[in-house]
């Protein structure tokens, strides 16, 4: 099912390349498939299009930590905290702070909400 969604979202991204929700949808589907490179690329695209899209920082950090790029993940999460503070997204801020703290305590975090 995810492959079908990815194909549909890619088609949408071709016609609406500046729509962050499409790229976020792609990032989510790539995370489900544990395709971390593509998840990181799609999440990064979301952030370039909308620096206040806090959920994208969560996904970017998740992808990066699973690629073994823990320091980059921590930077992404720190930037996500800044975005959440800037936009007043307090719940997102708390969640990202938890991811960041967990990655620092364990040296590696999954980035999943169940953590």
1-37 per-position pLDDT tens digit: 688 999 999 999 999 999 999 999 999 999 999 999 9
3-state secondary structure of 66: helix
pLDDT of residue 103: 84
38, pLDDT greater than 60: yes
- When the pLDDT of each residue in the chain is averaged and rounded to a whole number, the result is 91
pLDDT of residue 115: 33
Domains observed in the chain: 2-106 (1.25.40.10)
pLDDT of 111 over the 80 cut: no
In the numeric block, the tokens 């979202």 are attached to 9
pTM of structure: 0.87
8 A C-beta contact, residue 111 and residue 58 = yes
Q: Taking residues 28-53, what's their average pLDDT?
A: 98
DSSP code, position 89: -
Collect all residues with Cβ–Cβ distance below 8 Å to 70 and sequence separation of at least 6.
Answer: 64, 103, 107, 108
Question: So what's the pLDDT on residue 82?
Answer: 97
In the predicted model, what is the mean pLDDT of residues 67-71?
96
């Amino acid at each position: 099912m995810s492959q079908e969604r990815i194909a549909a979202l890619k088609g949408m991204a071709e016609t609406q390349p500046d729509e962050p929700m499409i790229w976020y949808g792609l990032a989510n589907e790539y995370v489900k498939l544990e395709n971390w490179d593509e998840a990181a690329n799609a999440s990064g695209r979301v952030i370039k299009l909308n620096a206040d899209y806090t959920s994208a920082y969560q996904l970017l950090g998740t992808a990066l930590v699973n690629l073994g790029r823990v320091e980059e993940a921590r930077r992404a999460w720190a930037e996500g905290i800044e975005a959440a503070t800037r936009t007043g997204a307090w719940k997102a801020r708390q969640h990202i702070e938890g991811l960041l703290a967990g990655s620092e305590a364990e040296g590696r975090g999954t980035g999943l909400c169940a953590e």
